[in-house]
A = this chain, B = another copy of it.
């Protein structure tokens, strides 16, 4: 009784509906789109015909070719799905975008895993794209979007002309954390950074690596620390995950003779990892080691401690990006060059229980 695969009768078209209703295609179109004046009686007739034919409404393909709009908003993530969504900050941002965009009838196209995203932008229909957690490495993706005349909004991205930017005060916020540590009396501070390049190579934080970095967010946060501790060193993690934080923590704490008294991690997940590493080294937090994070996404127990961190308005950023997209699409009516402007958000300091004055040095 499976009625699929038998006759393969194609779905009815608007033309079929119009014919059955005894009106022209254009009138039927108007009846559905709501635009333009249509007599109530006519509209009713069209509706009836549609119901009889089990017509599902105008085919999105025809509509998108004709109108130039598909209702699809691409969202580019750097990593594959599994990795990208390990960090709740990305989920929050995505949710924020969806909040603004889906009530307007737009759907989100997930472009995860860099390699593919450039290709997808080239071959998949979309009205605009949002770059999440982006680095200059997506230059190729940006290029493709440009050529297709697809407007771009970047969250935390490089400020390229023509790309609308939604950002936060990474540097200042991190500096605030660093100052907090300085005020507590810390002098020997290390950091754990987000990946600096596409390879996501782990390793010590060297001048060369910073010079070669392609990740703006990480760079800014490094600068923030050094605004307060100019000589601060650290290690580079391969991603914003707890286990990466553990690895980094061990790297930092391995040598009892050269342990920092505080660690600035560039994300809460990394901070959680550092704390665990500290515990594994027999250190107590915050008595023996202070740890601060970044993001402020409280998700169940991913971050067990009450972490001292900078709270980032992730959902707000997503929403701002969503709004920007809508503005870019709905309102090219900005006749006077009043193109939508970028938005900058501010993080707020949260003093948790993972920071304290350093132990008296022996």
Q: Which residue of chain B has the shortest Cβ distance to A94 in the bound complex?
A: B81
Determine if A345 is an interface residue (Cβ-Cβ < 8 Å). no
Is A56 touching B113 in the complex (CB atoms < 8 A)? no
| Residue in A74, A112, A332 whose Cβ sees the most chain B Cβ within 10 Å | A112
Among A101-109, A177-185, A186-194, A223-231, the one that faces the other chain is A101-109
Q: Mark A47-73, 1 if CB is under 8 A from B, else 0.
A: 000000011110111101100101110
Determine if A82 is an interface residue (Cβ-Cβ < 8 Å). yes
CA distance A206 to B10 in the complex (A): 46
Among A21-29, A118-126, A166-174, A353-361, the one that faces the other chain is A118-126
Among A142-150, A208-216, A252-260, A288-296, the one that faces the other chain is A142-150
Q: Mark A234-253, 1 if CB is under 8 A from B, else 0.
A: 00000001110000000000
A62-B65, A91-B81, A94-B81 known; A110 vs B113 contact (CB < 8 Å): no
Determine if A17 is an interface residue (Cβ-Cβ < 8 Å). no
A98-B112, A109-B110 known; A301 vs B299 contact (CB < 8 Å): no
Is A91 touching B95 in the complex (CB atoms < 8 A)? no
A65-B61, A149-B10, A242-B301 known; A98 vs B125 contact (CB < 8 Å): no
Is A4 touching B242 in the complex (CB atoms < 8 A)? no
Interfacial chain B residues near A81, Cβ < 8 Å: 91, 94-95, 98
Interchain residue pairs with CB less than 8 A apart (29) = A2-B161, A2-B339, A4-B162, A4-B339, A5-B332, A5-B334, A56-B122, A57-B122, A59-B148, A60-B123, A61-B65, A61-B125, A62-B65, A71-B124, A80-B99, A81-B94, A102-B116, A107-B109, A107-B110, A107-B116, A107-B124, A108-B110, A109-B109, A125-B125, A241-B300, A242-B301, A243-B300, A269-B300, A272-B300
Given contacts A71-B124, A110-B110, A300-B302, 6 further A-B contacts (CB under 8 A): A10-B149, A59-B148, A64-B64, A85-B94, A108-B110, A272-B301
Q: Which residues of A contact B (CB under 8 A)?
A: 1-5, 10-11, 54-57, 59-62, 64-65, 68, 70-72, 74-75, 80-82, 85-86, 91-92, 94-95, 98-99, 102-103, 105, 107-113, 116, 119-120, 122-125, 144, 147-149, 151, 161-162, 241-243, 269, 272, 299-302, 304, 315, 332, 334, 337, 339
Interfacial chain B residues near A339, Cβ < 8 Å: 2, 4-5
| Residue in A57, A72, A86, A300 whose Cβ sees the most chain B Cβ within 10 Å | A300
Q: What's the least CB distance linking A179 to chain B, in Å?
A: 29
Is A105 touching B123 in the complex (CB atoms < 8 A)? yes
